[in-house]
Structure 1
């Protein structure tokens, strides 16, 4: 067992001890990818995992569908050392999906497991920094080739190609031309990009997810881009270790009217939240009681009509480190942090 796996198994065991449980079965792709060092645990990108993991005080046992054992052992799990892998019939529910006597289901300790995977290890941070750089550079390369007459689907296809070439999986691909910028989740169509276009990417590699949004073409009408960057700066300032996500969200909500947006602008789209092994882990809501952890990744995504800002950042030692950064993309200084602005068509 590698040191990374050992640390993570110990974190799960600490949860078991705190909850007075003898065993738990991990079944979610987020927890399994985290535990197993970023192993690809699904076949359809957002499908159900092909294995489950039972953790007790002294044992770690993996139950893997029989038709996936060889691939996982040879291509995904080999860096982790010797593991107890049990072949499971492909036509029967995995342990944990089907109740397993003596083991608590993952859902019963979901909040504790989110906290366990929130603080990223140094090896995870290195993976994340490399992923963030690669994905940001891929988006820049695609944006540099786009033209106003290109369709949204052409832009999304080019992004998918570039992301897959980095070894990542595109799990979110959105594109909006000038005529559809009012939509917060613009699935691509045959419409033209026009004079201003939004590109949104979520890409997963080694289990970790990089999220970012970029604009190509003109700046937004008026000064809404600049005012929204000020909202994001307030979000960064509010994301302090130990604070509840609900409190951070309340500060973000108050920031909108402070910078000239409608009081209820924050209600028109979710504002993001912690990320890592899930796109949002969890999404920040007024009821979210999770607390900010040192060494945790976040993807806040403030938005307003026609504009949005989003990057994956690390919150550590009271500082914000932008992970999805490409020096070739134009930026503006906002509170000492370089933030992306619209990139003119080439």
Structure 2
């Protein structure tokens, strides 16, 4: 079976179980999943794009307007998903098309409107368990995103502003066909103050942090790196080592079947063991990911369980220190995706983790 036929079978099985006559996938995340990596995105920050996918027992179609139809069919969609276009000035033909194929049967959606039902939970779990083709796309994305990060921080200069570093990051991602959903920059002054520093006009100074969330073919790669234009102090090294140990505890707890709440609890214990009790309250700690930067952000009581071949990105932090990579959780163990062999590493609990880049 192809990736598309496998996914259509899953969707239809969930429709029958829930008594749904159709499902409409409107979000850019679900559109990408259903089209095997297609993109409905034009505005990068939009949650819904310029097209949706309609699935019934009898067929599946991409619904869009006449502006987008030809481009989507030629550049974004797999074979087996015909396009149904309507005038961009009038969406009523789209709704008439849907009604003609669903009748009065209940309709589900990832973003339900009046009268529609949320997606079945089993279908959400199925999306989290990435298939072979998705895994290969994710591995390629992880390598390219990490290489973009290395290129940028090898070229960075202390006199650059945060805007310039963020711009260089976005350019490096776009050059690899990766949409820059996020390019956070912490400069020397702001790093100890803010856990989530956005880019600013301040110069970088003697150290900087760069954070990426890059999206390609629907999948999201998250990673954080630090560059130093001087030797790190003993305290900076200590904090970097502490967040790496906290992350190691999260990775150790990240196994198929474990809940995100259980991983969060492991993080909390690790902060306390490292001498930073309560640090988890000052920044979110990450969670599961895949077709979103975070599908579910872990909280103390999050009961969502990790699936086989589920992606995660944990990001423990302390003042001026943070660590983050995207990894796959599988029965065989943990697989780090956002890895560039050029980046210096340090071994933490059996894993090679990113060290501070000292230039």
- Residue aligning to 2:73: 73
What's the CA shift for 1:286?
A: 2.8
What's the CA shift for 1:186?
A: 1.2
What's the CA shift for 1:92?
A: 4.2
Q: Within 2, Cα distance between the matches of 1:137 and 1:203? A: 12
Instruction: Give the match's secondary structure for 2:290.
Output: coil
- Residue aligning to 2:115: none
Q: Which stretch shows the higher mean deviation, 43-52 or 232-241?
A: 43-52
Q: What's the TM-score once normalised by structure 2's chain length?
A: 0.90
- Residue aligning to 1:199: 210
Query: 1:1-346 maps to which residues of 2 (within 5 A)?
Result: 3-47=2-46, 48-77=48-77, 80-92=78-90, 102=105, 103-107=107-111, 108-109=118-119, 111-181=121-191, 182-217=193-228, 218-219=231-232, 221=236, 223-263=238-278, 265-345=279-359
Q: Within 1, Cα distance between the matches of 2:124 and 2:318? A: 29
Instruction: Give the match's secondary structure for 1:63.
Output: strand
Change in 2 beyond 3 A, CA 1:93/1:268: farther
Instruction: Give the match's secondary structure for 1:221.
Output: helix
2:142·2:326 contact (CA, 8 Å) conserved in 1? yes
| Cα offsets for 1:113-164 (capped at 9, x unmatched) | 3312111111111111111111111111111111222211111111111110
Q: Within 1, Cα distance between the matches of 2:196 and 2:89? A: 36
Q: Within 2, Cα distance between the matches of 1:159 and 1:68? A: 29
What's the CA shift for 1:33?
A: 0.4
Q: CA RMSD in A?
A: 1.9
| Cα offsets for 1:302-329 (capped at 9, x unmatched) | 1111100000111112411110000110
| Cα offsets for 1:74-107 (capped at 9, x unmatched) | 1111xx21323211232345868xx965322324
The total of aligned residue pairs comes to 340
What's the CA shift for 1:222?
A: 5.3
Instruction: Return 5+ residue gaps in structure 1 as ranges.
Output: none
Q: Within 2, Cα distance between the matches of 1:151 and 1:318? A: 43
Instruction: Give the match's secondary structure for 2:54.
Output: strand
Runs of 4+ in 1 over 4 A off after TM superposition: 92-96
Instruction: Give the match's secondary structure for 2:166.
Output: helix
| Cα offsets for 1:40-68 (capped at 9, x unmatched) | 11111122211111212232122112210
Instruction: Return 5+ residue gaps in structure 2 as ranges.
Output: 112-117
Instruction: Give the match's secondary structure for 2:247.
Output: helix
Q: Within 2, Cα distance between the matches of 1:113 and 1:311? A: 26
2:287·2:294 contact (CA, 8 Å) conserved in 1? yes
Q: Within 1, Cα distance between the matches of 2:130 and 2:59? A: 23
Instruction: Give the match's secondary structure for 2:302.
Output: coil
